[in-house]
């Protein structure tokens, strides 16, 4: 649940500028074409960071990357809240895109670490679906706060929400169970051709001269 909250906050951070475009145009004295740079840059940063994010995820794990992503997004939103400079605002959105890039894949990595394989596809889909609650938060409470108060108040509030998610991840997301790696292990096929017999397979009992084979007791997944 904590990882899912971090992803909801990431989607919220991703979509806040979309509902505050008119206010952004007024604040930064920017034309629509310039405002589109915010969105394009964030998407480019997000896409470009996927491969490095995967490498970092393998090295440091989900907890470290979710915390890093939350910190980057909170910092980017805080900078966007306080600055009146267009170049700094564009840089802030790039920082948000970078934090967003490492969050979703890190949250997805938590699923096979904590749940049995048969539940992983369902929970992965539910994570993606529930994460879109962030769009609802940006379209309703964030927009209401932006309209009722000020740009700075609304964006500082979103940054504070990101800090809260970061603290909760630090406090509640622990080290994966010791058997997490074995849960992700790929088992050999149940039946295999004699000509291409994989390691750990033996003749099926009672098969006689049958050309098929079944996992033997030497197979790590035969239990």
Q: Which domain holds residue 208?
A: 186-215
Residue 43 within any structural domain of the chain = yes
Tokens 């309703």 -> residue: 140
Distance CA 140, CA 145 (A): 9
Q: Helix (H, G, I), strand (E, B), or coil: what is residue 84?
A: coil
| Range in 26-35, 126-135, 143-152, 186-195 the model is least confident about | 186-195
**Residue 169 in contact with residue 6, Cβ under 8 Å?**
yes
Would you say residue 40 has pLDDT above 60? yes
Backbone φ, ψ for residue 188 (5° rounding): -70, 160
My answer on whether 155 and 195 are in the same domain is no
My answer on whether 109 and 194 are in the same domain is no
The mean per-residue pLDDT over the stretch 50-65 comes to 95
Would strands 192-193 and 201-203 be described as parallel, antiparallel, or unpaired? unpaired
Counting every residue written for the chain, the total comes to 223
DSSP state of 189: P
Distance CA 191, CA 13 (A): 49
Residue 181 within any structural domain of the chain = no
Residue 177 within any structural domain of the chain = no
My answer on whether 147 and 195 are in the same domain is no
Distance CA 210, CA 185 (A): 28
My answer on whether 192 and 116 are in the same domain is no
- Tell me, what's the pLDDT at 20? 93
State what percent of residues in the chain have pLDDT above 70.
Answer: 79
Confidence of residue 182 (pLDDT cuts 50, 70, 90): low
Confidence of residue 174 (pLDDT cuts 50, 70, 90): confident
- Tell me, what's the pLDDT at 139? 93
pLDDT in tens, 127-146: 999 999 999 999 999 999 99
Residue 113 within any structural domain of the chain = yes
Distance CA 205, CA 52 (A): 48
Residue 223 within any structural domain of the chain = no
My answer on whether 95 and 203 are in the same domain is no
Taking the CB of residue 109, how many other CB atoms lie within 10 A of it?
A: 22
Report how many domains make up the chain.
Answer: 2
**Residue 35 in contact with residue 24, Cβ under 8 Å?**
yes
Of residues 60, 87, 73, the one with CA closest to residue 16 = 73
My answer on whether 158 and 190 are in the same domain is no
Would you say residue 181 has pLDDT above 90? no
My answer on whether 107 and 141 are in the same domain is yes
My answer on whether 200 and 108 are in the same domain is no
Residue 11 within any structural domain of the chain = yes
**Residue 57: how many CA atoms within 13 Å on its side-chain side?**
19
- Tell me, what's the pLDDT at 81? 96
**Residue 16 in contact with residue 144, Cβ under 8 Å?**
no
pLDDT in tens, 70-122: 999 999 999 999 999 999 999 999 999 999 999 999 999 999 988 899 999 99
My answer on whether 193 and 168 are in the same domain is no
Would you say residue 52 has pLDDT above 80? yes
My answer on whether 123 and 192 are in the same domain is no
My answer on whether 120 and 190 are in the same domain is no
My answer on whether 190 and 112 are in the same domain is no
Distance CA 96, CA 88 (A): 12
Cα three-residue angle 20-101-90, rounded to 5 degrees: 40
- Tell me, what's the pLDDT at 66? 96
- Tell me, what's the pLDDT at 218? 46
């Amino acid at each position: 649940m904590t990882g899912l909250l971090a992803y909801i906050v990431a989607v919220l951070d991703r979509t806040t500028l979309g509902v505050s475009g008119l206010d952004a145009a007024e604040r930064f004295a920017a034309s629509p074409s310039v405002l589109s740079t915010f969105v394009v840059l964030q998407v480019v940063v997000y896409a470009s960071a996927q491969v490095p994010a995967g490498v970092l995820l393998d090295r440091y794990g989900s907890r470290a990357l979710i915390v890093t992503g939350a910190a980057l997004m909170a910092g980017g939103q805080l900078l966007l809240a306080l600055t009146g400079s267009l170049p700094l605002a564009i840089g802030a959105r790039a920082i948000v895109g970078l934090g967003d890039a490492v969050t979703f894949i890190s949250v997805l990595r938590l699923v096979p670490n904590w749940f049995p394989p048969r539940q992983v596809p369902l929970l992965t889909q539910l994570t993606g679906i529930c994460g879109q609650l962030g769009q609802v938060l940006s379209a309703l409470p964030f927009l209401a706060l932006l309209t009722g108060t000020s740009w700075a108040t609304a964006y500082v509030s979103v940054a504070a929400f990101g800090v809260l998610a970061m603290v909760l991840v630090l406090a509640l997301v622990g080290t994966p169970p010791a058997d997490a790696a074995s849960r992700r292990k790929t088992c050999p096929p149940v039946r295999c051709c004699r000509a291409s017999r994989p390691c750990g397979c033996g003749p099926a009992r009672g098969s006689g001269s049958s050309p098929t084979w079944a996992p033997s007791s030497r197979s790590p997944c035969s239990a």
